[in-house]
Structure 1
Amino acid sequence: MELFCSIILAVFTLYLEQGSCFPSGAPWDTCLTMFPKHNGQQRQTAPSHFRFHLQTASSFRPGDSINVSVTSEKAGHALTGIQLRARPTSGDRERIVGQFVAWPEEKTQALDCLGGIRNLITHSNNEPVTTLTFTWRAPDVNVGDVQFIATFVEDFDHFWVDQTLTLPSLEPPPTDKLGVDLSPNFDVIDWSECGVSKGCFLYPRACTGHDCYAAVSFRWTNGSLEFEMFASQEGYVAVGFSEDKHMGHDETVVCTAQGDSLAIQRGYNHETYNERQFKAGLSDVQARYVDGRLYCRFTRPIVMEMYVEKGHKKLREFNLEHAHYLMLAWGHIYDGTEVMGLHKELPPVSDGLVDFHLSAIIRGSSLPLAKQIHGTLMLVSWLLLAGSATVIARHYKTGFRGRLICKAQAWFQIHRFLAILLWLTTAASFILIFVVVGGWLPKWTSAAGNAHACLGVAVMAGSTLQVLAGVLRPAPGTRLRPIFNWGHFILGKATHITAGVCLFFAFYNSVIPAPQRKFAYIVLSVALVVHIAWDVGLDIAKCIHAKKSRDQYEMKTVDGTSSDVGNEPTIGQGPPEVTLYLYLSCILAVTCASITAIYMF
C-alpha cells in the first residue's frame, strides 16, 4: 500500500508551488537569521563571488564612522540581494551594534531591528549591481572588536550566508561578560520524577519518559523555571508557550544540533513562521545529540519580553506565572547553520492550559479536535458502515428469517439505513474539514495532502451518487433494473476502494508525526486484511452452500422423492446470522483500533 501511495503521490506533485523570493528586500523579521528561505534551497559552500572592503580605516573607536564596500570579484556575477549588520566578536554575539548613516538609496534600504535604529541593510529591488558602499557608525560605548556579517544573493538558487569582515577596536575589550554559554556536558534527565517533583509533557500519550518520541519537563528552581526536553531526531527541538492551541503570538525556546555544533535560541511565532530573537536571559544551558536524540536543558526567568509587530518597536511580556498551553516541535536546520527549517510534522499541543507551579503529567495531541472528529467520522463511515452495508446486501438477502421492517424486507431496510447514515457521516466530515481549512488547501500543502483532499472529494461525489441512484432505482423486473444493479455494485465498490486509499493518504503525509504514521499504517493494513478476508470467506461460504444445496436437490430428483417447485435449491441463501454478528464484531474492533491512531497521538 505504501508503494501504491508513492505512485499516486507523484501525480499530485504538480500541485506544489515554488517558494517566493523578496525582490524588494529581506523580511523585517530575519534580522538575526539573515538566511534566504528560497523554497528550501541550501546555502552555497563554494567561496563567494563578492568581497568586503574597509575603505576609510582598518580599526575604530566608539562613535567613529566607517565606510564598508561590497564588490563583485568575478566577471559576469552581480549582486541582486543583500543583508548586512554588525555584531561584537565577544560576549553576546547576537547583539546588533551601531547603525548605518549612509547607503546607496537606489539599491538598498536600512531597517530598524530588535529595538535598534537603521542597524540592518537590505536591498530595495533586485536590480544587479557590482559595487555597494555603506557608512556605519560605531556605538558610543565600547563594545570591543566588531564583525560585519552579510548575506549575498546572486539569484534565487545562489546565495552565501555568514560572510564576515572583522573590524578591530582601538579600545581594550570590555570586561563585562554577556551572552549565553552552552555546555555540551548533559546530565541525564530523570523522568521518574514526572508528576512528583516536576511537570512533564509527554508525547505520545502512552509513553512514560525515555520511551517517548518527544517530551519536555519543567520545575521551579530559585525563582526561575528549569526546562528539559528532547526529540528523536537531529536538527532542532523547540518548546512553545501559547495562550491558545494555535500557532501565532507565542514564545519559543529552540535547541539545535548538527554534528558537533549545538546552539540555543529564542523565537517568536507569527501565524505561519518563527522569528529568531535575542536569547539573553536564558541560563544554565546544556545540550547534547546522542543516539539519534537531541537533548536540551535551560533555565528561564519567569518573566521575559519579546519584540512584536513590524519594526520591532513594541515589546510584549511573557509571564509564566500564568498558565499557558505547551507546544513541542522538531524539524531540520539548514546545512552549516543554526537556521530552523519549517517543521513538517504537526507539533503536539497540551490538552489544556499548563500551570507551571504544579508537578503534573500532561498529555496532548498533534491534531486539532476538529481534524480528529473529521478523521473519526471518515473511519467509522468507510471501515464500519460501508463494510456492513455491503455485506448485508450481498450475503443476507435471504437472512433475518424473512422478517419485515415497515413492510419491507429487513435486509433492505438495514442496508438503506446504513447507506444513508454513511452518506450523512461522510458529508458531515467533508463539510467540517472545509470549514476548518477555510476552503481548499493552502498552497504549501504537501502532495500527499493534495492527494488526500482530491480523493476525499471523489469519495463524497461517489457516495452522493450512490444515494441518489438508490432513491431513483428502477422497479424490480423492469428492463433497466439489471443495469442499475451492476452500476450500483460497481460504483459502490469503486467508492469504497477510493475511500480506503484516501484513508491511507490521510496518514501517508509528512505533517503526521512519525510514530502516528507508523501506528496508522499498521492498524489500517490490518483493517484492510480483515475486510478482504471476510469478503473472500463469505463468497467462498456462499459458493459452497450453493453447491451443497444444488447437489441435495439433484439427489432428491433422481430418487424421485420430490419434484415440487417449492423444493428447488435455495442457491442464493446466505450464511447464518451468527456469522454476521461475528463479522460486525471484527469490523467494529478494527475500526476502534484505527480510531486510536487519531487520539493516542
Structure 2
Amino acid sequence: MRQMRRIWLMVVVVVLLQSLLSKEVLSFPDGAPPKACLSLEPVHPGGQLQTSYPPYQVLPAAGQGRVRLILGSPQGLAYEGFIITARDVETGEYVGEFTNLPSSAKALECIPGIKNAVTHSSKEKKQNLEFDWEAPVNYEGTIIFNSTFAQDYSTYWVGVESPRVTVLKRSIDILTSSTAQNTFRTTTPPSFSPTVFYEPLKTQEPIYDGCGTTKTCFGVPEECWQTKNCNALVTVLVRGERFLFEMLGRGAKYIAVGLSRDQSMGNDSVVECTNEGGQIGLHMSWNNGKSNTRIPTPSDSIQLESSAIRDDVITCSFWRAKTTVVQGQRFDLANTQYYLLLASGSSLKANGIGYHDVLREPTGESKFLSDVSSFKASNNLLIRVHGALMLAAWIGTASVGILLARYYRQTWVSSQLCGKDHWFAWHRFFMVLTWLMTISSFVIIFVELGDWSSQTIHASVGLATTILCFIQPFMAAMRPHPGAPRRSLFNWTHWFIGNAAQICGIIAIFFAVRLSKAKLPEWVDWVLVAYVVFHVLTHLVLTFLGCASDRQASQRVNSFPMKDMHARGSMVHPDARRDAPHAGARKTIFGIYFVVVAAFTAALVVIVVLAPIEETWDSFTKTVS
C-alpha cells in the first residue's frame, strides 16, 4: 500500500512538472518552432488573436536576385516575437531562403535543409529588423511574405502580408501594395489555414499614419494630413541610410516631389509616380529652369516600395538613398536643408510628365528631411496681389471706363471737370488706373516666377492683354484733332485695341481659375459668367436706348466713339451742349452698373486674396462658433 502511494505521488509530480515545462515551451521565448511554419499561429495559453488592423508591416525593397525586408511599425511600436515565411501565391510552396540575419533573429527550416522562415531569437523588444530573402536561381513566379507579430505574450496578429513580389529569374519587381486597409484581410495564399478577418480602419489611406510624430508630412490643402483629406501629399520616413517617401495624388496622371534649394523650379531633383495604363511607373527627372526632363534612373538611387490606383487616387512609396548625385549635383538628404516641390498633372508626355495643371505647391521653408516635422505651404502673396490687381483692372476700372466713352459722350454736358467733358475726364481716370494696375501686376508676376512661361493659355492671353493695354495711352496721346483726315483711323484703332484688351483680360481671368497656384474654387467660374451676362445686357440696353435717342433728337447721339469721324458739323450744333434724350435713364443705368460692377470686383478680389476661400471661411466659422 505504501509503495502504491509513492507511485501515485511520483505520477502527480511528473504531471505537474510537464504542465509547467509545457507552458515554458509553448511561450517560445527563443523563437517559434518549425511546426509553426504552416499556420503561423503562436501557441500562447491565455493569448488573444487580435482582430484589429495590424500596427506592423513587412516592407520589401527589390534588389538583384534578392529582397531586402524591413519588419516594423509605422507608429514606431516595438514587438517581442515574430515569424515570417515566403510562399508562392499560386502553389503555396515555400520559396527561397533568408540570409544576413541580425543577432535578434534566427532561421527556421520549414523544409529540412532549407532556411524557409525567420523567427525571433529572444524576447527583447525589436524595431525595424532588416534582413534579406534570396530567390532560387531559375525561379519565376509571384511570392508574398506572410508573418505573425507578437507585441507581447498575450497580444499578437496573424497573417500580416507584404506587397506581392514578382521574380523572373533573379529579376525582382514589387508589383502592388499590400491589401488596402479599408478592406478585409486574409492570410495568403488562400489555402493557408487559418483564414483571419480584420476589421477595416476608419481612415481610408495608411499614408496619413504617423504624420508629425514618426515622419515628416507636407500636403495640399495646408495641413490636410490632420483631417486625412489631402488632394496631394508627400511624407518622408527615415530608416537608417535610406529615406522612405510616400505620395498621394487625386485626379491626376502623375504625382511628383522635387528637392529644391529654393521655392522655384530650376536645378531640382524630381521623382514622379505615373499612371501608365493602370500600372504605376517610378521615374527620376530634372528641372532645368521651367522645363522638366526625364533622366536615367540609377538602380541604387530610388526603389519602388509599393503602389496602387484606386478610383482617381494614385498612391506610391519608394526608397531613396541618403546621398545621391543627380545631373552632377550632390543631394544629401540628412545634412542639407531642402524645400519640397509637390506637383501633379493630368497628362503625360512621350518620355516624361506634362504640365502641373492639377497642382503645384512649394513648401514655405526649407528643412532637414531627417527631422520629424511638418511643412507649411508658401503664402503665394505675390500671386494673390497679381490676381487682385488684374481683377480690379479688367472687371472694375476698365469696364466703367469703356462704358463711359461709348455711351455717355452727350451726358452731363452742361458742366465740365478740369476743363474737360465729364465722360472724357472720368474715362481717362479709370483707364489710367487700369494701365497702372495691369503693368504693376505684370511686373509682380515676373518677380514671383522669375521668368516667362508660355505653358498655359492664361499666361499667353495675359501677355496679349498687357501689350494691348500698354500701347493704348501712347496712342491716345498722339490722337489727331477732331475732323483731321486720320481721326477716323485713330477712332477705330483705339476702339478695337481697348475692347480687345478687355476681352483678352476677361478670358485670361477665366483660365486663371483653373490654375493650381490660384487655389480658386470651380464655382468662381459662375461668378465670372454672371458678370459677363450683366455686362453684355447693360451694353445692349444702352445701345437700344441710344437708338431711341437718335429717333427723338434732331442731333444724332454720338453713341460710339468712332462716330465723330464725320462730326465736324455736329460739334457746333445748337444742341451740342445739351444732354441727349433719355439722359435720366442713362444716368440711372450707369449708377446701377457702377454699384454692381464694384460688388463683383470686391467679391472676386476678396476670394483671390483669401484663397483658398473655402478653407478660410471654415476656419473663420470655427473661430466664431
What TM-score, normalized by structure 1, do the two folds share? Answer: 0.52
Q: CA deviation at 1:432?
A: 6.1
Equivalent position of 1:362 in the other structure: 376
CA–CA distance in structure 1, aligned partners of residues 374 and 424 of structure 2: 53
- Name the aligned partner's letter for residue 287 of structure 1: S
In the alignment, is the contact (CA less than 8 A) between 1:287 and 1:296 conserved in 2? yes
Q: CA deviation at 1:289?
A: 0.7
Equivalent position of 1:245 in the other structure: 263
Q: CA deviation at 1:231?
A: 1.1
Once the two structures are superposed, residues 9-36 of structure 1 have per-residue CA deviations (whole angstroms, 9 ceiling, x without a partner) of xxxxxxxxxxxxxxxxxxxxxxxxxxxx
Residues 496, 432 of structure 1: alpha-carbon distance in 2 compared, 3 angstrom cutoff: same
Equivalent position of 2:295 in the other structure: 275
Equivalent position of 2:581 in the other structure: 571
In the alignment, is the contact (CA less than 8 A) between 2:264 and 2:449 conserved in 1? no
Counterparts of residues 77-226 of structure 1 (less than 5 Å)? 90-91=65-66, 183-187=177-181, 188-189=204-205, 200-204=217-221, 212-218=230-236
In the alignment, is the contact (CA less than 8 A) between 2:266 and 2:287 conserved in 1? yes
Once the two structures are superposed, residues 272-304 of structure 1 have per-residue CA deviations (whole angstroms, 9 ceiling, x without a partner) of 32435346587993321111211134576xx70
Q: CA deviation at 1:531?
A: 2.4
What is the Cα-based RMSD across aligned positions, in Å? 5.4
Residues 183, 584 of structure 1: alpha-carbon distance in 2 compared, 3 angstrom cutoff: closer
Q: Residue 183 of structure 1: SS of its match in structure 2?
A: coil
Match of 1:327 among 320, 334, 342: 342
Match of 1:287 among 307, 310, 315: 307
Once the two structures are superposed, residues 395-433 of structure 1 have per-residue CA deviations (whole angstroms, 9 ceiling, x without a partner) of 555667967543434443222122223223334455666
Number of equivalences: 410
Q: Residue 219 of structure 2: SS of its match in structure 1?
A: strand
Counterparts of residues 386-405 of structure 1 (less than 5 Å)? 386-396=398-408, 404-405=416-417
Equivalent position of 2:473 in the other structure: 467
Q: Residue 582 of structure 1: SS of its match in structure 2?
A: helix
Runs (5+) with no aligned partner, structure 2 = 1-61, 69-133, 139-167, 182-203, 555-573, 615-625
Residue 348 of structure 1 pairs with residue 361 of structure 2: yes
Once the two structures are superposed, residues 129-182 of structure 1 have per-residue CA deviations (whole angstroms, 9 ceiling, x without a partner) of xxxxxxxxxxxxx99979xxxxxxxxxxxxxxxxxxx9x9xxxx8xxx999786
Q: Residue 240 of structure 1: SS of its match in structure 2?
A: strand
Q: Residue 333 of structure 2: SS of its match in structure 1?
A: strand
Equivalent position of 2:428 in the other structure: 416
CA–CA distance in structure 1, aligned partners of residues 548 and 211 of structure 2: 60
Runs (5+) with no aligned partner, structure 1 = 1-86, 94-141, 147-165, 551-563
In the alignment, is the contact (CA less than 8 A) between 1:379 and 1:595 conserved in 2? no
Q: CA deviation at 1:242?
A: 2.0
Q: Residue 540 of structure 2: SS of its match in structure 1?
A: helix
Counterparts of residues 520-531 of structure 1 (less than 5 Å)? 521-531=525-535
What TM-score, normalized by structure 2, do the two folds share? Answer: 0.50
Q: Residue 277 of structure 1: SS of its match in structure 2?
A: coil
Residue 380 of structure 1 pairs with residue 392 of structure 2: yes
CA–CA distance in structure 2, aligned partners of residues 249 and 358 of structure 1: 25
Equivalent position of 2:437 in the other structure: 425
- Name the aligned partner's letter for residue 366 of structure 2: L
Residues 515, 381 of structure 1: alpha-carbon distance in 2 compared, 3 angstrom cutoff: closer
Equivalent position of 1:52 in the other structure: none
Q: Give percent identity, aligned residues only.
A: 22
In the alignment, is the contact (CA less than 8 A) between 1:242 and 1:250 conserved in 2? yes
Counterparts of residues 5-20 of structure 1 (less than 5 Å)? none
- Name the aligned partner's letter for residue 319 of structure 1: A
In the alignment, is the contact (CA less than 8 A) between 2:410 and 2:578 conserved in 1? no
- Name the aligned partner's letter for residue 471 of structure 1: A
In the alignment, is the contact (CA less than 8 A) between 2:520 and 2:608 conserved in 1? no
Once the two structures are superposed, residues 72-104 of structure 1 have per-residue CA deviations (whole angstroms, 9 ceiling, x without a partner) of xxxxxxxxxxxxxxx9862379xxxxxxxxxxx
Q: Residue 360 of structure 2: SS of its match in structure 1?
A: coil
Equivalent position of 1:592 in the other structure: 605
Counterparts of residues 487-502 of structure 1 (less than 5 Å)? 487-502=493-508
CA–CA distance in structure 1, aligned partners of residues 421 and 611 of structure 2: 37
Equivalent position of 1:27 in the other structure: none
Q: CA deviation at 1:263?
A: 5.3
Q: Residue 529 of structure 1: SS of its match in structure 2?
A: helix
Once the two structures are superposed, residues 174-233 of structure 1 have per-residue CA deviations (whole angstroms, 9 ceiling, x without a partner) of xxx999786333443265986788764333569676654322345678998665431124
Q: CA deviation at 1:579?
A: 2.2
Once the two structures are superposed, residues 493-523 of structure 1 have per-residue CA deviations (whole angstroms, 9 ceiling, x without a partner) of 2332344345456678xx8689869566555
In the alignment, is the contact (CA less than 8 A) between 1:202 and 1:212 conserved in 2? yes
In the alignment, is the contact (CA less than 8 A) between 1:181 and 1:283 conserved in 2? no
Once the two structures are superposed, residues 455-507 of structure 1 have per-residue CA deviations (whole angstroms, 9 ceiling, x without a partner) of 55654454344323432345567777676555543442233234434545667
In the alignment, is the contact (CA less than 8 A) between 1:205 and 1:364 conserved in 2? no
CA–CA distance in structure 1, aligned partners of residues 432 and 442 of structure 2: 15
Match of 1:582 among 595, 598, 605: 595
Residues 352, 526 of structure 1: alpha-carbon distance in 2 compared, 3 angstrom cutoff: farther
Q: Residue 348 of structure 1: SS of its match in structure 2?
A: strand
In the alignment, is the contact (CA less than 8 A) between 1:350 and 1:363 conserved in 2? yes
In the alignment, is the contact (CA less than 8 A) between 1:201 and 1:361 conserved in 2? yes
CA–CA distance in structure 2, aligned partners of residues 534 and 522 of structure 1: 18
